[in-house]
Amino acid sequence: MGDKPRSPKTVSEGKKASHHQLRRLIFGTLAFLAAILLFGNAMSPKEFSAADETETAASETMTELLPTPSVSPTPTPTITPTPEPVEIRATITAVGDILMHKAVIDDGLTNPGEADPVYDFTPDFKYVSAIFKQSDMAFANFEGTLAGPPYSGFPSFSAPDEIADALYEAGFRIMGTANNHCIDKGLDGLIRTATVFREKGFIVIGTRPDTASPMDTIEDLNGIKVGFLNYTFETIGTESNRTINGIYLPKGAEDLVCSFNPYREASYETDLAAILARVDKLKSDGAEFICLSVHWGEEYNTKSVQWQRDVAQDLADGGVDLIIGHHPHVLEEAEVLTSSVTGKNTLVFYSLGNFLHNMNFGTLGTSGNAQDGVITRITLLKTDEGVRIELAEYIPTYVVRVPDGNFLTHYIVPVLKGLIEPEAFETSTEEMQASYDRIHKILGESTGTEQLPIVEAAY
C-alpha cells in the first residue's frame, strides 16, 4: 500500500549514523590537511591539484553542514564639521546739525508768489544721498521744529514738513529731535515735530508726542542689534525748573524730551543715572551695541570743553559704545575713550559740525569753520566675541551756496570729490581746498587707535 512510517527508533538510529558520518568526514579532512602540511613539498603539481579539489569539496560540505556566522557591519564614523567663525558687518552713517535758516526755507520754495506754497528740498542732498542709501542705518539731527506755518528761521525755528520728505528721500531713517531748539514753538511745536516725522516713516528718538510712545529704539542691522538714544543738554535753570536754551520747559514737556543738566551737580547725578538705566534697559532688551546722539558743548568752539569730556567718560563707563555729538556748529575732535569699568573702547565724535545751514565765512568770527561738517560712517563687526567698531570714517562736507535770482541754492558737497571736479559741484578748487584745510586741522590728528582707527574717506 505504501511505505510504512518509521518508528522513533529508526529515526534516532538515522540521526546517529548521520552524526557518525559527519565526525568521520571532519576527522578525515583534518588528517588530509595535516598530511598536506607535512608532505606538501614532496607532492607533484598534479598531486597538489587533486588535493586542492578534495579540500574544496570538504570545505563546501562543511559550509553546508555548519551554521553561517553572524557578522555585524562596522559603523561609519560621523564627522562633525568645524563651524565657520561668525563675522557680520553693518554700517551706520550720521550727520551734524540740520538748521532750517530762513534762506534755506526760501531755497526750497518751488512756486514763489502763489497762495499755497509748495516746497522741495531734495536737491540740497543730491550730491551725498548715495552715502546714506548705501549704509545700513542713517541718522540725522534735526535742530528745530515742524510746528507748521508761518515758517521761520533763527532764532525760533519752524520749517515746512517737506524737509522731512527730503530727508527720507536722501536715505535717513532715524531722526534725533532732542536739541536746544526743540521747544522753540512751545509744547505744541514739540509734539507736532515728533508726530510729523513719525508719520513720514522715521524712527524718532529724543522726543515723543505722548508718554505712551518710545524715545529710543533697537534696530536689527544685518543681525546686529543696535540701541539708539538721543539727548540734549539743558541750560542751568533753577533747582525747581528746567530750561532748554534759556526757555522754561512747558508744562507737560518734561516727560516728552530726553535732557540732562550738566551745570547742576545734583541734577546731573540724577540725570546720568536715568540715562544709564535706559542704556541697561536697551541691553536687557537685546541691544548688543549702544549709540548715543547728544546735543552738547559750547557753540563755535573747535575743541571740546571739559564738561563734555567728563560726560563722555561717564557714558563710556556706563556702557555706551558710540557717542555722536552736535550743537557747536563747528567741527570738534574725535577721541577713543577706554571704559574704566569694562576696559572696552568708546568712540566719541564731540561735534560733527553743520550739515545743512546758511552760515557763511564770517558768521560770529568762525572764519569758515561754521560752513564745514563731516559725515561719519561707522563699520560694526560682530564675531563670536561680540560686537565692536571695526572702522570709523569721516567724509568732509561743505555747503555750497549758489545765487539763484533772489534766493540762494544750497548743495551739500563732499569736499574731496569737489576738489577733483569743482565744476561738477558748482564750486571752486579754492573753496574746496580752504574747507579741506580747516577740517583736516581739526580732525586730522584724530587717528584713533590700532584697534579702532579713525580715517578720512572721500565718499
Q: Does the residue 309 lie in any domain?
A: yes
Q: Does the residue 231 lie in any domain?
A: yes
The reported pLDDT for the residue numbered 48 is: 38
* Whole-angstrom distance, CA of residue 68 vs CA of residue 337: 78
The reported pLDDT for the residue numbered 55 is: 45
Total count of domains within the chain: 1
Q: Does the residue 19 lie in any domain?
A: no
The reported pLDDT for the residue numbered 58 is: 43
Domain that holds residue 109: 88-456
The reported pLDDT for the residue numbered 43 is: 43
Q: Does the residue 327 lie in any domain?
A: yes
**Series of mean pLDDT values for 10-residue runs along the chain (459 residues):** 39 42 50 46 42 45 47 64 82 98 97 93 98 98 97 97 98 98 98 98 98 97 98 96 96 97 97 98 98 98 97 98 98 96 96 98 95 98 96 97 92 98 97 97 85 92
Q: Does the residue 26 lie in any domain?
A: no
Q: Does the residue 398 lie in any domain?
A: yes
CATH code of the domain in which 326 resides: 3.60.21.10
SS3 track for the chain: CCCCCCCHHHHHHHHHHHHHHHHHHHHHHHHHHHHHHHHHHHCCHHHHHHHHHHHHHHHHHHHHHCCCCCCCCCCCCCCCCCCCCCCEEEEEEEEEEEECCHHHHHHCECCCCCCCCCECCHHHHCCCHHHHHCCCEEEEEEECCCCCCCCECCCCCECCCHHHHHHHHHCCCEEECCCCCCCCCHHHHHHHHHHHHHHCCCEEECECCCCCCCCCEEEEECCEEEEEEEEEECECCCCCCCEECCEECCCCCHHHECEECCCCHHHHHHHHHHHHHHHHHHHHCCCCEEEEEEECCCCCCCCCCHHHHHHHHHHHHCCCCEEEEECCCCECCEEEEECCCCCCEEEEECCEEEEECCCCCCHHHCCCHHHEEEEEEEEEEEECCEEEEEEEEEEEEEEEEEEECCEEEEEEEEHHHHHHCHHHHCCCHHHHHHHHHHHHHHHCCCCECCCCEEEECCC
The reported pLDDT for the residue numbered 4 is: 38
Q: Does the residue 177 lie in any domain?
A: yes
The reported pLDDT for the residue numbered 113 is: 87
The reported pLDDT for the residue numbered 72 is: 57
337 contact partners, CB below 8 Å, separation of at least 6: 312, 313, 316, 345, 346, 347, 348
Q: Does the residue 375 lie in any domain?
A: yes
The reported pLDDT for the residue numbered 406 is: 87
The reported pLDDT for the residue numbered 28 is: 54
